[in-house]
């Protein structure tokens, strides 16, 4: 059973450019969350997608946008890149389902390391 996968592994972009990161959730999961982890910091919640819609959003500007496809995979797009956007971007999937709270666990992918120069 494949876990959460992300692509690419590493990415180098120039300030002002746009970037798209991709995530495939764990099999059976229908909810995808994105996090930004700056060096030496804890992950910060960007947004969450469920049923192809953004369900919840953290404190990030509109330059950060996303999409979820019918197969539950997701993309994170960042426009007008800033040096401060350099970070590890983590994707997590979950399956709220019904009933037992154990099903609410988020499973994380290995992340995409974005460097903005």
Partner 1 sequence: GDSVTQMEGPVTLSEEAFLTINCTYTATGYPSLFWYVQYPGEGLQLLLKATKADDKGSNKGFEATYRKETTSFHLEKGSVQVSDSAVYFCALSYSGGGADGLTFGKGTHLIIQP
Residues in contact with partner 1 by CB under 8 A are 4, 31, 33, 35, 40-45, 47-48, 50, 56, 58, 90, 92, 94-96, 101-111
Nearer to partner 1, 1 or 102 (CB): 102
Question: Rounded to whole angstroms, what are the CA distances from 78 to 37, 103, 112?
Answer: 15, 30, 13
CA distance 21 to 11: 9
Q: How far is the CB of 98 from partner 1 (least distance, A)?
A: 11
- The span from the CA of 112 to the CA of 107, in Å, is 15
Nearer to partner 1, 38 or 80 (CB): 38
Cα–Cα distance list, 69 to 25, 30, 49 (Å): 11, 10, 10
d(CA 83, CA 105): 32
Nearest CB to partner 1, comparing residues 40 and 70 = 40
Q: How far is the CB of 40 from partner 1 (least distance, A)?
A: 7
CB of 110 to partner 1, least distance (A): 5
CB atoms closer than 10 angstroms to residue 26: 20
What's the closest the beta carbon of residue 52 comes to partner 1, in angstroms? Answer: 16
**Of 42 and 70, CB closest to partner 1:** 42
């Amino acid at each position: 059973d494949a876990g959460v996968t992300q692509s690419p592994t590493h990415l180098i972009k120039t300030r002002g450019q746009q970037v798209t990161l991709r995530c495939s959730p764990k099999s059976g999961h229908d909810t995808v969350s994105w996090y930004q982890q700056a060096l030496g910091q804890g992950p910060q919640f960007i947004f969450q997608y469920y049923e192809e819609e953004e369900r919840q959003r953290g404190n990030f500007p509109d330059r950060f946008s996303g999409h979820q496809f019918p197969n539950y995979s997701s993309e994170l797009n960042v426009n007008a890149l800033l040096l401060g956007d350099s970070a590890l971007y983590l994707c997590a999937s979950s399956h709220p389902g019904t009933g037992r709270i154990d099903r609410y666990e988020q499973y994380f992918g290995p992340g995409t390391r974005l460097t903005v120069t």
